[in-house]
Amino acid sequence: MNPLLVAALLLVGGVIGWQVLVAMSRALQRREHRLLPRLLRVIGRAVLLVTVLGAGLVLLPMLGMSQRWQETVGIVGGTLVAAVVVARLLRELLQSGLHRERASPLAASLLHNIVYVGVYTIAIAVILAALGVNITAMVAAIGASGLIIGLALQETLANFFAGLYILLTGKVKVGDYVQFDTFEGTVEDVTWRTTLIRRANNAELIVPNQRLSTSVLTVFRAEVSPVMVRLEFLLEPSTDLEHAERVVLDAIGALLSADRAEGLCAEPFPVVRFGETTARGVQMFVWIAAQGVQHLFAVRSHTMRATVHALVQSGIQLVVLRQ
């Protein structure tokens, strides 16, 4: 069969297949499908690219190219097409997963770039091997250099991947109020190496991402309202618990009625609960509601001060006081 006719048939078939997949993608998009239409568009472009490559390979003998070079061109072209298609498919899959997890745009962009670099690096290695370049020594040199750099930048890389984990999972977001170890404050920025936290005294706390990702965190979401705050007390074992509960609730009620604690919410109403009883004392937990994370520190401070004062005035002894 005439190579020109074969090439033309391949191109026509590729265009038809591409348009069919595009039409299917549009139909699914109207039905509010998200991932599948994008995958179909990528596959449609892949079909078109493969048929164009096939048509070009069919026409190569007409140019007088040797069999060896025809095979080389086929490998190079097929590798490039495969790299483009795989990179785009992975991009769509990652974008769908990151959108579902509500990951940071910065993390999404960074991960996309990592995927592109990885896919095209493999493609370049395959192309160099097809062209007869000995890549064994090159790969060994790159591996040794990577090992040396990795050991030298071990802490930096650990912070980088920890920051990527934080950004991708969205466990900590800008505006959240976090408590960990002996520190607390509002998250102002998450970078590739550190997280910036603004403390109540307006000081900046710069935390390595690895430290933040491995610590036990209490996170108060910026968009959540109201925010529940827990105060913890340890009372004398002989304390009248009903009396202590009334004193605490009356003190908080006085704060609410006098409007002396900005951001303190009346609903849900404060709750008092008692925990373990030991030889040292009885645990008492008080849950109060703040309007948002911006009022968290002030509400906790005002309420703690008022409840401690009320308990002491009522003759109730505190063994240990913790915030």
Quick: pLDDT tens for 174-184: 888 888 887 88
pLDDT of 187 above 50: yes
Note the pLDDT tens digit of each residue in 216-231.
Answer: 888 888 777 788 888 8
Q: Is 11 exposed, middle or buried (0-12, 13-18, 19+ CB in 10 A)?
A: middle
Query: Do 156 and 193 form a contact (C-beta atoms < 8 A)?
Result: yes
Q: What is the pLDDT of residue 36?
A: 78
User: Looking at residues 260-279, what average pLDDT do you find?
Assistant: 83
The tens digit of pLDDT for each residue in 45-57 reads 888 888 888 888 7
Mean pLDDT, rounded, for 273-302: 85
**Is the separation of the CB atoms in 159 and 209 below 8 Å?**
yes
Sign of CA pseudo-dihedral 254, 258, 259, 265: positive
42 — pLDDT class (breaks 50, 70, 90)? confident
pLDDT at residue number 246: 92
The length of the chain, given as a count of residues: 323
152 pLDDT more than 70: no
CATH of domain 227-322: 3.30.70.1130
Map tokens 């069969």 to a residue: 1
SS3 string of the chain?
CCHHHHHHHHHHHHHHHHHHHHHHHHHHHHCCCCHHHHHHHHHHHHHHHHHHHHHHHHHHHHHCCCHHHHHHHHHHHHHHHHHHHHHHHHHHHHHHHHHHHCCCHHHHHHHHHHHHHHHHHHHHHHHHHHCCCCCHHHHHHHHHHHHHHHHHCHHHHHHHHHHHHHHHHCCCCCCCEEEECCEEEEEEEECCCEEEEECCCCCEEEEEHHHHHHCCCEEECCCCCCEEEEEEEEECCCCCHHHHHHHHHHHHHHHHHHCCCCCEECCCCCEEEEEEECCCCEEEEEEEEECCHHHHHHHHHHHHHHHHHHHHHCCCCEEEEEC
Which range among 6-10, 12-16, 86-90 shows the weakest confidence by mean pLDDT?
6-10
> CB count, 10 Å around CB of 221?
14
Domain boundaries, the chain: 3-152, 168-220, 227-322
Per CATH, domain 168-220 is 2.30.30.60: yes
